[in-house]
Structure 1
Amino acid sequence: MNMSHEEEADDYNLSLSKFESMLKTNKVFFFDSEEFEDIILHYMDTGRLSLAKKALRLGLEQHPKSSGLKLVHVEILIYEDKIEQAEKILNEIALLEPTNEEVYIQRANICSKRDQHEKAIDNLFIALKYTDDEAEIYSMIGMEYLFMDRLELAKENFIKCLEQDEEDYSALYNVVYCFDFLDQNQEAIYYLEKFIDKNPYSEVAWHQLGRQFYAIKNYEKAVWAFDYACLIDEGFLGAFLEKAKSLEKLKRYQDAIDCYNITIELDDPTSFAYLRIGKCYEKLGNNEEALNYYLKTVHEDPLLDKAWMTITDFYIKQKNYQKSLYYINKAIGIDGENPLYWRRYANINQFLNYFEEAEAGYRKAFEFGDIELDNFLCWSDVLYVLGESSAAIEILQQAADLYHNEPEILYRLVGLYFNTEEEFNAIEGLNSALLIDYHKNYILKDLFPNVWENETVQRIIKNHNI
């Protein structure tokens, strides 16, 4: 008579309780070998290796010839990197039971540990001949191919696994991972739709389908797929989050807020949800609620520098530079090597006419890897305001090495060369700038009006306009 899952679970829990009672009382109870295997594997799965080894020793005392227990012993030895000892036991079992699939599975595990993935796969294909659980073997073959970065073959084997066991969600995640890695979003959508035809109540498949639609920017379809995932599993936090993100992309900000609020009800509030709700309110023009949620974000996670940055930008948009300076300093306090934060710090100080602090900010941004054109331009402009024209020239020359023939750089250099009385360089530079982009000569007019009015400069400009 076949037992139900509930009966099996009851028997398993009874065995476990009986074993733990035996350890406490020092009485010796009898267990059949399969009970011992389940007990040992339970302790291994829960990371209690010493109890697993104790159960193994007692099991082998009661069942010294049990190949199942010997194979569990092999598993423990592999886990402990005692490979030679494990191989010796495997060879003994193989002589007595050459068709035991577990021998080949464990040999595959040993090969995999040695990075001999081809050999591992060979052993797994042998195991396939003798197994009743093809799904597990195909999944293991898929993992070996993943280790070798052979994504197509990995995908093929995970698909075979799912053909045998449609509820193996880890295999489903791995199939989608392969599609993603191979940039095969359309193929993934086709596969998942076929999978859903057979398994319409698979919330994981619907969720993964939504992610694929999101990846190809089909946000309407993404919301549709996530909706099904949420209907099948009303506690599916990830599906609600990604549905909310898709709604944001569709500019359905109030719907997105409602969806993020569901995630807050399902689990403890997260700084991510608060931050996104704040951004949605800002998009709706409700600045009061936006700020309220941004402050909730930093209260929930004071070390989330991205949130401090968001509040900084919020105040910049309102031209409240003093407050934005306070908040950018918070972000820098958490991540002092982020070039974006230093550039924003410099921008704010420049708005406030704190030019020395601004110069320090642009320099820091550069030191931490910011080689964007804007950073070089703003940095040189601030140095010029501080009367450090030679330093500004040096910065722009570095920029010119990265951004060849960039008019924004060339016209600035012209102005600076005139101001440092390097007239030859200035005239040569002006001719080059006018040839590359005549119409951007307004840069010279805006930034260096004294140079613009110079007779020589005006004559050169007129000559180029003929």
Structure 2
Amino acid sequence: MLKTNSVLFFDSSEFENIIHHYLEIGKIALAKKAVKLGLDQHPTSTNLKLFQTELYVLENKFEDADKLLNELHILEPNNEEIFIQKANVLSKQDLHEKAVNTLLIALDLASDDEGIGDLYALIGMEYLFLDQFENAKIYFKKCLEIDLEDYSALYNIIYCYDFLNENDDAITFLNLYLDKNPYCEVAWHQLGRQYFTINDYDKALAAFDFAIISDDSFVGAYLEKGKVLEKKKLYREAIENYKITLALDEPTSFALLRIGYCHEKLGEDDLAVQYFYKTVHEDPLLDKGWIAITKFYNKKQNYQKALFYINKAINIDSENVIYWKLYAQINQRLNFLEEAERGYKKTLDLGNYELQTWLSRTDILIALGEYEAAVLNLIQAAEFYPETAEIEFRLAGLHFTLHESSKGHYHLKNALLLNHEYEFILEELFPSILQKPSIQRVILEARK
């Protein structure tokens, strides 16, 4: 019918199944067409009209949805689905308190356990939107009372505990849950993560082992167990667990990267770099992989290779601030000052406003003889780091270099008042300036 516009008769329930299918797979245009055809054949069907309101919500037509729901409410005042859709409309407009109140009405009308469980979950989600984590926990726990294996509710409860930094309470809750459902790999996995957060690595390890006993194909448990073993410096065992994940499922860049790091810790450089290569091959967009390779060669003082790989990374993602910072540092080590300066400027342009970034760029501009640009750079830095001795000493030296004595004296006095221990900056960057008698006098007076 949808393809040919020919008219065939379907029961309203069949239309509902068709519409639900299209909504599930995200084919909204087909769902809309199916709703229209359904309502043409069954103009009084409440369920089809509820699907119509769902489509209105997806299109942000909240007034149309509200109007239709009010009409349906007059006809069927005790239909819980109408209140659920009303709550959906309110939620999409960020009226979460009103959505909760509407769902509570639906809850009074609900009769079967499955429907009640779904409503508890919806209320819990609305409380999450309101950042009311204690209330959210209450309703997600009610979901588990109805269905002990509602893992979505279980994850949401742990999310609440995590957000509130209540790790001990989360551990207590999970242990009580495991008393009722002792072979739940999800709960053991979450328990292990909580122990890991509070640095109790032995208990974390035991929890992940129980998760694996409950389901020996649970990739997440092997990954987390590998992380714990790394913390305990048991790198060989960590590698074994990460390798199990590679055998169980498609290789993940995370596991490949961690194997690389473990080999590096064991001093097995050839194997380490092999796995770093595999990481970026598996996921070229994972910045941690490129950073690992670059830092590996950096540490080995093989700056040419480090530069080669950071350039490859920048070609893939030119907006990654960490890449540009590494690019600047490596070029600086290679004494490619123009490229280093470009790297630091790009780092700043991308929002990395660390003091050291400003200072490194300044020092390179000084080395390049770009004194005015260095002054402008420091003035910008001073907006983020006012009254900073490292900035003031550099400004003093630059103004003296540019024969702007009054400005030079002003910044030198400021610098000495802030922290005279940074005097060495003048000695390192402006040795000729330091020889001037007038400057020596200012420094001597400040020391008294």
Same fold (TM over 0.5): yes
Q: 1:111 to 1:460 in 2, by over 3 A?
A: closer
What is aligned with 1:112? 88
What is aligned with 1:250? 232
AA matched with 1:391? A
What is aligned with 1:132? 112
Contact kept in structure 2, 1:298 and 1:308, CA below 8 Å: yes
**TM-score, normalised by the number of residues in structure 1:** 0.80
Instruction: Find the aligned partners of 2:407 and 2:33 in 1 and give their Cα distance.
Output: 81
Deviation at 1:77, TM superposition (A): 3.0
Q: 1:143 to 1:71 in 2, by over 3 A?
A: farther
Instruction: Find the aligned partners of 2:368 and 2:202 in 1 and give their Cα distance.
Output: 53
Deviation at 1:268, TM superposition (A): 0.9
Matches within 5 A, 1:329-368: 329-368=311-350
Matches within 5 A, 1:291-310: 291-310=273-292
Deviation at 1:381, TM superposition (A): 0.9
Contact kept in structure 1, 2:222 and 2:242, CA below 8 Å: yes
Does 2:267 align with 1:277?
A: no
Deviation at 1:71, TM superposition (A): 5.8
Instruction: Find the aligned partners of 1:190 and 1:285 in 2 and give their Cα distance.
Output: 40
Instruction: Find the aligned partners of 2:97 and 2:415 in 1 and give their Cα distance.
Output: 61
Unmatched runs of 5 consecutive residues or more in structure 1: 1-26
Instruction: Find the aligned partners of 1:123 and 1:401 in 2 and give their Cα distance.
Output: 50
Instruction: Find the aligned partners of 1:90 and 1:228 in 2 and give their Cα distance.
Output: 51
What is aligned with 1:373? 355
**TM-score, normalised by the number of residues in structure 2:** 0.83
What is aligned with 2:59? none
Deviation at 1:119, TM superposition (A): 5.0
126-135 vs 381-390, which deviates more? 126-135
Does 2:151 align with 1:169?
A: yes
AA matched with 1:108? I
Instruction: Find the aligned partners of 2:68 and 2:415 in 1 and give their Cα distance.
Output: 76
Contact kept in structure 1, 2:15 and 2:34, CA below 8 Å: no
Give % identity: 47
Deviation at 1:121, TM superposition (A): 3.8
AA matched with 1:369? G
Number of equivalent positions: 427
Unmatched runs of 5 consecutive residues or more in structure 2: 1-7, 57-63
Deviation at 1:405, TM superposition (A): 2.6
AA matched with 2:345? R
Deviation at 1:89, TM superposition (A): 5.0
Contact kept in structure 1, 2:53 and 2:69, CA below 8 Å: yes
* Residue 73 (structure 1) aligned to one of 48, 52, 57: 48
Contact kept in structure 2, 1:36 and 1:56, CA below 8 Å: no
Instruction: Find the aligned partners of 1:247 and 1:195 in 2 and give their Cα distance.
Output: 26
Instruction: Find the aligned partners of 1:428 and 1:86 in 2 and give their Cα distance.
Output: 72
Deviation at 1:46, TM superposition (A): 5.8
Does 2:187 align with 1:213?
A: no
Instruction: Find the aligned partners of 2:412 and 2:32 in 1 and give their Cα distance.
Output: 80
AA matched with 1:79? E
Matches within 5 A, 1:184-195: 184-195=166-177
Matches within 5 A, 1:94-105: 94=77, 98=78, 103-105=79-81
Contact kept in structure 1, 2:16 and 2:48, CA below 8 Å: no
* Local SS of the residue matching 1:175: helix
AA matched with 1:114? L
After superposition, the CA RMSD in angstroms is: 3.5
Instruction: Find the aligned partners of 2:432 and 2:200 in 1 and give their Cα distance.
Output: 54
Instruction: Find the aligned partners of 2:381 and 2:19 in 1 and give their Cα distance.
Output: 65
Deviation at 1:192, TM superposition (A): 1.7
281-290 vs 452-461, which deviates more? 452-461
AA matched with 2:156? N
Larger radius of gyration: 1
Q: 1:364 to 1:143 in 2, by over 3 A?
A: closer
Deviation at 1:303, TM superposition (A): 3.5
Deviation at 1:428, TM superposition (A): 3.4
What is aligned with 1:262? 244
What is aligned with 2:398? 416
Deviation at 1:265, TM superposition (A): 0.9
Instruction: Find the aligned partners of 2:51 and 2:235 in 1 and give their Cα distance.
Output: 53
427-436 vs 345-354, which deviates more? 427-436
Does 2:141 align with 1:159?
A: yes
Contact kept in structure 1, 2:195 and 2:203, CA below 8 Å: yes
190-199 vs 257-266, which deviates more? 190-199
